[in-house]
Structure 1
Amino acid sequence: MSTGEENSAPIPNDLIVQIFSRLPAESVARCRCLSKLWGSILHRPFFTELFLTRSWARPRLLFALKREDAWSFYSLPQRQHDLHDKASPPPDFHMKFPKDIISPEYHGFTSGLIYFSRKSITLKSQEETVICEPRTGQYATVPKLLRYGKSFLGYDPIGKQFKVLFMDHTDCVTHCSDLHRVLTLGNGIMEWRKIKCSCSLFHHVMDDEGICINGVLYFASKQRYYFPCDVKIVCFDVRSEKFKSIDVEWDSSWYVKLVNYKGKVGVITWKGLCELSISVLEDVEKQEWSKYVYTLPENSILDSSKYSIAGVTARGEIVFSRNFTSGSFYVVYFSLESNTLQSVEIQGLEKDHGVCAYVDLVEDLNVNDAKYLKSSPRLNVITVRPKPQERNSAPSVKNKP
């Protein structure tokens, strides 16, 4: 391809790859349609992996704002450097889901997709799951289950496949439960399959979001009939669909959060205003944990009744986010290495909304291509585009002195 001048040389393919790997996913999608050459290059697996690697170098914080069952999504570049005298870009508004589309109770974040699930405790309990890409406005609803339970979204990075796991809460009388279900996105079938899980027989899935790390889905489960409750971490291998349970110390009287700590599952316990600990699973087979205890500064703005943990960054910083946007809204970074806090005030978010925050939002062309969502004709995929008046003007981010 040339620039149009007689003596101009064609742009080398390697240079094209390097240029486009630095663009947003939306720009890449548009450029794929401009020429057959670009389309061929930008659809290659090598480019997709390079784009994901570059995207991991510029992760973002995702904010899901809820008010009267309507959800709005914003994102902000995640801190990759000290913010002392540097201005940060404003949060970007992406889209809004009206309340007549989803009215979920539970939520979570997996490999760039937000999933919502709703359960109603009636004579015919229905578990409904909605999965969406918060920046493109695409979402999908999976087939309902007339059961009472909890669903999770997992991702297999080897097979590039998303799966929805449903854990049934119905009491069992046998020693091997086959009431649980799994559904694979993108295989053209869109049907729930029965799956056996003997490790969760005497355990009831807790109301945590779960977390998927390197193709393994982790979530907390507790004993059903004994007191005090014995909590275990259930591991579900998304690729093999095999279960395993792991013993863990879990103090349910305090704020507890599962996190991805440098590629390993971690359990953060936040006691009161000052004490915080993180237990890291070092060896899954041997079930070996390491535990670290920290003391937060007494004069910090953190309060477990007003803040929640969004996750842990690749740099080893715990990110705290306020639960509501009323008043001043802060995100707090706590460095585990230096044992220091830094508060960042974020301006421009919609007021009087509940907030769910997540770390490490990256652009993955495997997800943005929506092949997992569009490959099945039975899957309902709709694009919701925000109205101009829904965008906030001139939002900004400021460091708190």
Structure 2
Amino acid sequence: MDSSSFDFESLHEDLQMQILSWLPLKSLVKFLIVSKKWASIILGEQFRKIYLSRSMTRPRLMFMIERYTSQPPSAPPELDMSWLNSVYQEGRLIPVSPDTEVLFHSVYQEEKPLLSSGQQQLRIPIDIMACHFSQPIRGLICLQLGTKFAIFNPGAKKLRKLPEIQAHENAWIKSFLGYDEATNVFKVLCRTSLMMSGQETKEYHVLTVGSVEDEEPWRRITCKYDHSPAIEGLWKEGVLYYGARFSIDKSLVVMSFNVRSEQFSTVIEFPDGSAHSRWNFVIYDGNIALVDNSDFDNDVVNEPDGTKVFQIFVLDETARKWRGERIKIHCWEQNVGDMELHFRGTIGTGKLVFAHYHNRYGRDLFVLYYDTVTKIIRMFNIGNGRVVGDYDVVQTFLDHVDSLFLM
């Protein structure tokens, strides 16, 4: 066949969708304006499912980097950030700082080709001291700034403002993003707390993320457990898990929230009755697990031969019990030196992943993979000094995917 006479639109639509599903997300964004036919395919529900399924076979590492910048930051023109120009804090309307931003940087998390392949970046000018970003779920992230909320797709560079929650300007607000796989619905769980005249008022609200046309208001729900969220949460298979303290005895527990039924339940007390808040939730071999971040501080002494030893607690969700495991990584000091790399969980190949939390020394951004079978350590330099700067705060998330939500 003469390639010059090839007509893509003459192909069967199923074949067109299969071909388009292999394209990077940024190409699909551009192809929306090629023709009405292409836009209809790309925005169709069937193609969304095909593309998401394909993307989940090529997951990404997502880095959220909070930083100060000497250059006035600006968002892409398609992201209207004007509604976040100010935020209420402690009863005062404060303008967003002009010299702070969050950089979203993602790469494919497979080792071959290089871990730096498929790089995507998005800069958002925002007050890093006032905002909160959720973990990415199915390609979406929830942004909270005071009573204001938005969801956005960093790969597609698309953002949608959500209804503002009605809460007192002095209220303390904590939010979590969740997703119900069975009904393909995203929801935002929000807890507000207000202390006035020595009395604390707590409320729980849920927002179902629908289309712009049928966006629902926030709905108040009940929770029989008097608690305060204390540790950042994690979503797994339709359930949100997060660390919380009971108001009566201040004990640290794991709360769970079923996204579909919108019901709360306590899972279990934290292991060993620990009361500190340096625990971190991770996915370990497909299970919810807890790791103590203090095990990775620079002043923690490893074994004399340079082996790193740390404890992880894996949750048996049926038995409501923790199973402790000691993990040993040989040649840790020889490979890592004095860098502070925290455990971030396991990927599909079973490898353990470690990454920076705080770039204290102006170094490059590194990620470490450890194969528990072969005992091989591999270090990857992400961005070669072009991604992070001195004292940037870095959050690393595994298994982020490209999706067509919000397009």
TM bucket (normalised to shorter chain) is: 0.7 to 0.9
Shift of 1:323: 2.6
SS at match of 1:209: strand
Other-structure match for 1:115: 142
Which amino acid in 2 is paired with 1:45? E
Other-structure match for 1:94: 121
Alignment of 1:170-319 (within 5 A): 179-186=203-210, 188-198=214-224, 200-201=225-226, 203-206=227-230, 208-226=231-249, 229-250=250-271, 251-253=274-276, 255-270=278-293, 271=295, 272=300, 274-284=308-318, 286-297=319-330, 298-300=332-334, 306-319=340-353
Shift of 1:215: 1.5
Other-structure match for 1:138: 158
CA offsets per residue over residues 59-114 of structure 1, 9 Å max, x none? 11111221133111211111245xxxx645457352211136x6535432131223
1 CA distance for matches of 2:275 and 2:375? 25
Give the conservation status (yes or no) of the 8 Å contact 2:251–2:275: no
Give the conservation status (yes or no) of the 8 Å contact 1:25–1:368: no
Which amino acid in 2 is paired with 1:97? I
The 1:258/1:205 distance shift into structure 2, 3 A limit, reads: same
Give the conservation status (yes or no) of the 8 Å contact 1:178–1:196: no
Shift of 1:132: 2.8
Shift of 1:359: 1.3
Bigger relative contact order, structure 1 or 2 (CA pairs below 8 A, ≥6 apart): 1
SS at match of 2:130: coil
Other-structure match for 1:398: none
Other-structure match for 2:85: none
SS at match of 1:197: coil
CA offsets per residue over residues 5-24 of structure 1, 9 Å max, x none? 49999423333222111112
Task: Name whichever of 340-349 and 356-365 sits farther off.
Answer: 340-349
* Structure 2: gaps spanning 5 or more residues: 69-99, 303-307
Which amino acid in 1 is paired with 2:152? C
2 CA distance for matches of 1:9 and 1:233? 53
Aligned residues: 345
SS at match of 1:51: helix
2 CA distance for matches of 1:304 and 1:204? 35
Percent identical among aligned pairs is 25
2 CA distance for matches of 1:196 and 1:304? 47
Which amino acid in 2 is paired with 1:355? V
Which amino acid in 2 is paired with 1:364? S
Give the conservation status (yes or no) of the 8 Å contact 1:110–1:154: no
Other-structure match for 2:96: none
Other-structure match for 1:351: 389
The 1:91/1:356 distance shift into structure 2, 3 A limit, reads: farther
CA offsets per residue over residues 249-284 of structure 1, 9 Å max, x none? 344558421123354322223534533233333334
Other-structure match for 1:330: 366
2 CA distance for matches of 1:87 and 1:66? 25
Give the conservation status (yes or no) of the 8 Å contact 1:110–1:212: no
Give the conservation status (yes or no) of the 8 Å contact 1:106–1:209: no
2 CA distance for matches of 1:38 and 1:148? 45
CA offsets per residue over residues 211-249 of structure 1, 9 Å max, x none? 1112111111123343xx532211111111111111143
1 CA distance for matches of 2:152 and 2:67? 18
Give the conservation status (yes or no) of the 8 Å contact 2:256–2:264: yes
Other-structure match for 1:18: 18
2 CA distance for matches of 1:255 and 1:305? 18
Which amino acid in 2 is paired with 1:131? I
Which amino acid in 1 is paired with 2:220? K
* Structure 1: gaps spanning 5 or more residues: 119-125, 370-401
CA offsets per residue over residues 166-222 of structure 1, 9 Å max, x none? 1234589xxxx9721111222534522111111x31x3210x221111211111112
CA offsets per residue over residues 306-339 of structure 1, 9 Å max, x none? 3334443122333222234412331112334445
Other-structure match for 1:63: 63
1 CA distance for matches of 2:350 and 2:376? 12
2 CA distance for matches of 1:130 and 1:303? 40
Shift of 1:154: 1.0
Which amino acid in 1 is paired with 2:370? F
RMSD: 3.4
Give the conservation status (yes or no) of the 8 Å contact 2:245–2:252: yes
Give the conservation status (yes or no) of the 8 Å contact 1:110–1:155: no
Does 2:183 correspond to 1:159?
A: yes
The 1:16/1:189 distance shift into structure 2, 3 A limit, reads: closer
